[in-house]
Amino acid sequence: MKRKRLRWTYVLLWLVLACSLTGSAGAQEATHVDVLDIEGPVTPIMISYIERGVVTAEDDGAQALVVVLDTPGGQVDLMSEVVQVMLGARVPVVVYVYPSGAYAASAGTLITLAGHVAAMAPGTTIGAASPVGGQGEDLGETMEAKLKEDLKAQARALSERRGEGAVAWAESAIEEARAATASEALEMGVVDFVAGDLNDLLRQMDGFRVTVAGREVTLETAGARIEELPMNFVEQLLHTITNPTIAFILLTIGANAILFELSSPGGYAAGVVGAICLLLAFYALGVLPVNYTGLIFIALAFVLFIVDLKAPTHGVLTVGGIASLVAGALLLFNSPLYRVSLSVVIAVAVVTGLFFAFALAKVLQSRSRPAVTGREGLVGRVGVARTDLEPDGTVLVQGELWRSTAVDGPIERGERVEITAVDGFRLMVRRVSGG
């Protein structure tokens, strides 16, 4: 009896131990963080991407949403929307400036401060958040003072929980465009951690307490599984085309394709490709801060190209068009945050110029050739006299009968004649030497 009880005791102990191990493994497996990877200027696509990440992290029970950030900044209104999304999240949002060499400049500074946890990798920088105009220009004195005070108020609200040193630095980053390295930011309390990689950050954050949606949360991230949340196809496409260089290339290809379709209608392929490229380019131009002077220069370039094909300038306007295209591209996004690569500008201008130079050469070549259609194309043709020409009669040319006049004496029926001129619907002909 005692042995039987002892046996059942062992069985129960093993069952309890197995359940405990299974529960621990399940809990450890359920612990994870969702990760977003954001690189480039702040755009509306970034906002929708972060919104989707927050919703996903809230729904799948992630310990935190980690935003891996590398941005030169962006427009103030877009930055404010990103901050609102992050502050309204019901899951801890961690902003991690990574990798080494990355930076959270301008609007990226306030986005980093808005994270429930702010972290940087060694070799990264943060700051230089002084406001500038949409085209990178200095603002007027009154507008600059107003905008700076507004941004400093936001910075104080976002950094006050990190101490007076963080608040003072955040204000100076806006007022004086100050920047800081990762170690300097950590020393001043601007960021909470400096971590070499994501696993190191998760290890350091374990046990860190943050306030999320009015409640205090203790992070349990040691050994947490990392779940990447990449951009979907639409987000990736729109994020790609809002790159200033890509937007300029799409604009140029679209304009070239449309002009090619108009000059050689009937194929439709060039027109369809051109329309798609222009629509994507116009979307990008609607999102990015555009300098309309640059857009006018680009439009002028294509006007000059077209006129050069119609007018006998022998390429002078094409050269002017190339210069106008380069100037327009450099002015289109004349901002520290949105620039078209100079090498791309030169390459696109050269290719476009060569395309129109080739078209111009073909036009000049066709103008130098004698006409081969219509009445003018009859000059020099050889026909046969169907009646005696004394001097008037009928000549058969290219299967058609024409009233004709002999210009160098009578011509007998059946003789070969050459057309020398066309007068209305009458041909001027002469006898072909040798009959």
Residue 106 is among the residues annotated as catalytic for this protein:
yes
Q: Is the dihedral of CA 293, 295, 297, 303 positive or negative?
A: negative
Three-class DSSP category at 383: strand
Q: How far apart are CA 30 and CA 61, in angstroms?
A: 8
Residue 83 CA to residue 91 CA, distance in Å, equals 14
Residue by residue, DSSP assigns 174-239 as HHS--EEEHHHHHHHTSSSEE-SSHHHHHHHHTT-EEEETTEEEE---TTPEEEE----HHHHHHH
- Can you tell me which residue has the tokens 């990392």? 226
Contacts of 214 (CB under 8 A, 6+ apart): none
Angle at 102 between CA 100 and CA 104, to 5 degrees: 135
Selecting among 106, 159, 324, 335, the annotated active-site residue is 106
CA distance 391 to 402: 14
Cis peptide before 99 (omega within 30 of 0): yes
Q: Alpha-carbon distance 326 to 254, whole Å?
A: 17
Contact 365, 349 (CB under 8 A): no
Cα gap 230→224, rounded to integer Å: 18
Contact assessment for residue 366 and residue 389, using Cβ atoms and an 8 Å cutoff: no
d(C-alpha 366, C-alpha 329), whole Å: 33
Residues 419 and 383 sit within 8 Å (Cβ to Cβ): yes
Active-site entry in 146, 183, 263, 362: 146
91 and 62 Cβ atoms separated by less than 8 Å: yes
The number of residues making up the chain comes to: 435
DSSP designation for 162: G
Write the Ramachandran bin of 265: left for phi over 0, alpha for psi from -120 to 50, otherwise beta: beta
Rounded CA-CA distance 329/332 in Å is 5
Point out the residues that are catalytic: 106, 146
